[in-house]
């Protein structure tokens, strides 16, 4: 295989301090890889010390959009490739039989997205007293870094890459634990048309979540991505509260939510990606730049509780799923607002 693999033998832990919280910094980067074909997804793991709890409070990217299309940080029970320092983890693509491949997290194990980066997004700091718990009393026993290399021209001369993230963390217990709920769709976009890719799910766990940040992600056809909390009143009328709305082709960082009101048991979360295609072919959901994606990430915290067991809210998307479908039971849909900036 035409790329270099270096085992992670040392992990940089640099002590930082602040008036309120003592934190350390952990360097989690690709082990000097040389991507060997376009649209390649590579994953590398690190095992978390399971004897104590750690709380991740900030994420500092070490990447540029000239090199990496995007990066995802997964929390896993087990990594997707046992005892391998690097593997092809493009879940939507076919891999060559000669290469190590698998999902970011092992099938059947705990799997969640913790952090996402694209388009030169800056550092992310969580609110005060909020952290992602990993380790002893968490189902997250491994962190897996996934990097999508859309283009490989800069590596043809033998150059290697160490894109990744510096994770700032503490061992000081935190009462507000962070989680991420990823809303998205499958489906397809017809040629030369506008299409709505929509999803909606009910919160069926008796927990109160406090949204504080959101992130949008599409490929080139995305024009607007919006996310909502939907609450039904006693008369059956739906109240749509905007959580976030953005042009997905601006820096794909986590932005503060437009509303911080709690989301409770029985509420629904909903998202729409407004897509406009000038292509003369059907565009399907997929992993490459020739495909599309529709994602709305909602970052939240719970107080004196554990984050939601629900990590994902996905639907079949168009032409099968729409908010307006009778079986979805949504009313007072903000059609115009959801698709205009």
Q: Is 146 a catalytic residue?
A: yes
What backbone torsions phi and psi does residue 199 show, to the nearest 5 degrees? -145, 155
Exactly one of 30, 56, 112, 146 is catalytic; name it.
146
Q: Are 174 and 108 in contact (CB under 8 A)?
A: no
Q: Is 148 a catalytic residue?
A: yes
Exactly one of 219, 252, 253, 275 is catalytic; name it.
219
Which residue blocks in 287-331 are alpha helix, DSSP H? Answer: none
Exactly one of 30, 70, 197, 275 is catalytic; name it.
70
Q: Is 27 a catalytic residue?
A: no
Tokens of 328: 């979805």
User: Is residue 70 marked as binding?
Assistant: yes
Exactly one of 30, 56, 69, 168 is catalytic; name it.
69
Distance CA 197, CA 201 (A): 14
Distance CA 209, CA 98 (A): 44
User: Is residue 69 marked as binding?
Assistant: yes
Q: Is 219 a catalytic residue?
A: yes
Partners of 44 in beta bridges: 145
Q: Is 69 a catalytic residue?
A: yes
User: Is residue 293 marked as binding?
Assistant: yes
Q: Is 293 a catalytic residue?
A: yes
Distance CA 209, CA 86 (A): 35
Q: Is 293 helix (H, G, I), strand (E, B) or coil?
A: coil
Q: Are 124 and 254 in contact (CB under 8 A)?
A: yes
Exactly one of 56, 112, 217, 275 is catalytic; name it.
217
Exactly one of 30, 71, 148, 197 is catalytic; name it.
148
User: Is residue 217 marked as binding?
Assistant: yes
Q: Is 210 a catalytic residue?
A: no
Q: Binding site for Cu(2+): which residues? A: 69-70, 148, 217, 219, 293
**Catalytic residue annotation:** 69-70, 146, 148, 217, 219, 293
Q: Binding site: which residues? A: 69-70, 148, 217, 219, 293
């Amino acid at each position: 295989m035409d790329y270099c693999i270096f085992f992670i033998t040392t992990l940089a832990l640099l002590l930082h301090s602040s008036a309120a919280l003592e934190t350390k910094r952990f360097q989690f980067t690709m082990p000097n890889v040389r991507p060997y074909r376009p649209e390649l997804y590579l994953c590398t793991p690190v095992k978390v010390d399971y004897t104590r709890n750690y709380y991740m409070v900030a994420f500092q990217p070490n990447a540029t959009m000239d090199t990496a299309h995007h990066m995802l940080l997964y929390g896993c029970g087990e990594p997707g490739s046992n005892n391998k320092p690097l593997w092809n983890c493009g879940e939507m693509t076919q891999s060559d039989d000669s290469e190590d491949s698998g999902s970011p997290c092992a099938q059947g194990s705990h799997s969640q997205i913790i952090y996402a980066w694209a388009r030169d997004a800056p550092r992310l700091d969580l609110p005060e007293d909020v952290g992602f718990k990993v380790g002893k009393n968490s189902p997250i026993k491994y962190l897996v870094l996934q990097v999508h290399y859309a283009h490989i021209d800069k590596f043809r001369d033998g150059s290697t890459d160490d894109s990744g993230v510096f994770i700032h963390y503490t061992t000081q217990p935190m009462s507000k634990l962070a989680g991420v709920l990823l809303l998205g769709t499958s489906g397809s976009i017809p040629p030369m048309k506008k299409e709505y890719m929509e999803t909606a799910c009910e919160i069926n766990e008796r927990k109160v979540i406090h949204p504080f940040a959101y992130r949008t992600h599409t490929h080139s056809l995305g024009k607007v991505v919006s996310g909502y909390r939907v609450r039904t009143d006693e008369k059956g009328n739906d109240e749509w509260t905007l959580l976030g709305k953005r042009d997905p082709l601006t820096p794909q960082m986590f932005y503060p939510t437009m509303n911080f009101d709690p989301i409770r048991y029985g509420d629904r979360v909903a998202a729409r990606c407004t897509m406009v295609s000038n292509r003369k072919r059907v565009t399907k959901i997929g992993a490459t730049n020739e495909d599309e994606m529709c994602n709305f990430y909602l970052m939240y915290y719970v107080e004196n509780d554990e984050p939601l067991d629900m990590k994902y809210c996905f639907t079949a998307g168009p032409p099968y799923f729409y908010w307006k479908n009778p079986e979805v039971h949504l009313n007072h849909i903000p059609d115009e607002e959801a698709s205009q900036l």
